[in-house]
């Protein structure tokens, strides 16, 4: 029994999961500790900018890692070169954006970086966070989970120490704090990325357009989805800084759930193959098996989050607690549905995903623009989350119907051959 436990803990998936949990915890601690470290006004500025950095990080990596994981098993060397080429282009694009404080992205997100120095700190924070994400994607494709785990320990320790330094030294400039939690801990990741980039043997661009088309569709779907989830925060930044801070704080609490989803999605995208119908049916059976226990656990966690936030959040405590509980429950439900909808990559059903995410964006944008202001923030937030969850469930139904039809086709072919 002990040997079985040691084998499980030492397995690649366990190391990958623990690494992602540690990284998520380091991000969550930034949200959890900053209210007690910073005065109210600097805190509200910092937590909003920090969430926008996480948002931009998600946008600029939306489709690249799933693309590598899907294609790597066919020709590792070629798709590694495509991966790093695309990652390099993304880094250069972000550097250019950082040179222009009033660029369209900063203006839309209401980041408020007025100087080139502040703007470069924001976009450099995104770049250095992406270095880790890109390295993790590359290491996942190679199943080098031990390296991921060691890298995350460095990031975790560095963030804890630097957060302590912020509190001890009384630093309150949001852009300096941003550099301390999003740039300095990732300096080693920058070295890994740059050295990996120059070690890659770049191939001819044959097949690159198809790779770009696949990751572009995933990126569009991911960007629309992520933008939809941030519309209410961005609108609140314009009207109510305390609500925007509460929403940003709540978003920071969902990291553990998101990391679980990212971890399993990364593994399953690489493992699931549309040609192995039995393997997909087995996977779906496991997802259904744990649905009821998961729902019960989600309710317990949501309740615990509510009471926890009432103890630690300074000012507008009830508002922050309610929004945090709603956010965690919604994120958990979306993540579980995502275990089915991740197969849009397996079966290349990305057009349906883009269409449904686009519909969700339009509905939520219209609601935030014309209706939300006349309702309480709780009702508005529940409606927005319900719209997004409904679209995800519709997409899950489309995937399940596609799997069922494929099974019927295989059964028919087998009868014909018999």
pTM across the whole model: 0.79
Residue 195 — very low, low, confident or very high, per pLDDT cuts 50/70/90?
very high
**Angle (deg, nearest 10), helices 116-141 and 145-169:** 150
Residue 75 — very low, low, confident or very high, per pLDDT cuts 50/70/90?
confident
For residue 233, which of 90, 12, 34, 49 has the smallest C-alpha distance? Answer: 49
Provide mean pLDDT across the span 152-161.
94
Q: How far apart are CA 224 and CA 245, in angstroms?
A: 22
* Weakest-pLDDT range from 212-221, 384-393, 402-411: 402-411
User: Residue 270 has what pLDDT?
Assistant: 60
Residue 374 has what DSSP assignment? G
| 183-195 burial code (b ≥16 CB/10 A, e <16) | bebbebbbebbee
Mean residue pLDDT of the chain comes to 86
pLDDT digits (tens, 9 = 90+) for 15-24: 877 888 788 8
pLDDT digits (tens, 9 = 90+) for 262-293: 656 666 666 677 778 888 888 888 889 889 99
Residue 235 — very low, low, confident or very high, per pLDDT cuts 50/70/90?
confident
With 90 as the cut, is the pLDDT of residue 163 above it?
Answer: yes
Residue 408 — very low, low, confident or very high, per pLDDT cuts 50/70/90?
confident
With 90 as the cut, is the pLDDT of residue 411 above it?
Answer: no
Using the structure block, give the residue that is written with the tokens 């989050």. Answer: 305
Winning range, highest mean pLDDT, from 89-93, 137-141, 224-228? 89-93
Give the rounded distance of the alpha carbon of 283 from its chain centre: 23
Q: What percent of the chain stands above pLDDT 90? A: 42
Bigger pLDDT: 269 vs 171: 171
Residue 39 burial class via C-beta count within 10 angstroms: exposed 0-12, middle 13-18, buried 19 and up: exposed
Q: Are 186 and 155 in contact (CB under 8 A)?
A: yes
Q: How far apart are CA 211 and CA 203, in angstroms?
A: 13
Using the structure block, give the residue that is written with the tokens 């922050």. Answer: 320
With 50 as the cut, is the pLDDT of residue 365 above it?
Answer: yes
Residue 323's SS3 state is helix
User: Residue 258 has what pLDDT?
Assistant: 64
Q: How far apart are CA 409 and CA 244, in angstroms?
A: 50
Q: How far apart are CA 19 and CA 14, in angstroms?
A: 8
Provide mean pLDDT across the span 324-335.
92
pLDDT digits (tens, 9 = 90+) for 343-360: 988 888 989 999 999 999
User: Residue 325 has what pLDDT?
Assistant: 94
Give the rounded distance of the alpha carbon of 382 from its chain centre: 21
């Amino acid at each position: 029994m002990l040997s079985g436990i040691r084998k499980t803990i030492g397995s690649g998936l366990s190391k990958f999961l623990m690494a992602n949990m540690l990284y998520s915890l380091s991000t969550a601690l930034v949200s959890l500790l900053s209210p007690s470290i910073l005065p109210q006004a600097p805190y509200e500025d910092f937590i909003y900018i920090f969430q926008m950095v996480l948002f931009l990080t998600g946008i600029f990596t939306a489709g690249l890692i799933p693309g590598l994981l899907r294609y790597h098993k066919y020709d590792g060397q070629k798709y590694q070169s495509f991966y790093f080429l695309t990652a390099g282009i993304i880094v250069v694009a972000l550097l250019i954006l950082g040179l222009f404080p009033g660029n369209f992205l900063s203006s839309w997100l209401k980041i408020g970086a007025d100087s080139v120095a502040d703007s470069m700190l924001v976009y450099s924070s995104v770049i250095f966070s992406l270095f880790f994400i890109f390295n993790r994607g590359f290491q996942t494709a190679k199943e080098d989970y031990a390296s991921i785990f060691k890298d995350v320990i460095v990031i975790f320790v560095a963030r804890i120490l630097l957060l302590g330094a912020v509190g001890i030294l009384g630093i309150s400039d949001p852009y300096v704090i941003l550099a301390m939690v999003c740039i300095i801990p990732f300096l080693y990741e920058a070295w890994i990325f740059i050295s990996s980039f120059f070690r890659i043997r770049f191939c001819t661009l044959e097949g690159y357009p198809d790779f770009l088309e696949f990751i572009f569709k995933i990126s569009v779907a991911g960007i629309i989805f992520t933008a939809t989830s941030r519309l209410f925060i961005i609108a609140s930044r314009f009207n109510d800084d305390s609500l925007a801070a509460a929403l940003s704080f709540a978003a920071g609490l969902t990291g553990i759930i998101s990391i679980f989803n990212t971890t399993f999605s990364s593994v399953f995208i690489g493992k699931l193959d549309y040609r192995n119908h039995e393997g997909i049916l087995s996977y779906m059976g496991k997802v259904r098996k744990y649905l009821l226990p998961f729902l019960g656990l989600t309710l317990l966690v949501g309740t615990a989050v509510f009471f926890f936030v009432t103890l630690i959040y300074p000012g507008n405590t009830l508002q922050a607690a309610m929004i945090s509980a709603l956010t965690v429950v919604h994120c958990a439900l979306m993540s579980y549905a995502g275990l089915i909808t991740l197969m849009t990559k397996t079966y290349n059903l990305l057009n349906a995903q883009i269409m449904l995410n686009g519909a969700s964006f339009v509905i939520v944008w219209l609601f935030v623009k014309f209706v939300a202001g006349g309702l309480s923030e709780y009702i508005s937030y529940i409606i927005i989350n319900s719209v997004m969850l409904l679209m995800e469930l519709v997409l899950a139904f489309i995937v399940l119907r596609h799997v069922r039809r494929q099974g019927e086709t295989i059964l028919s072919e087998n009868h014909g051959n018999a």
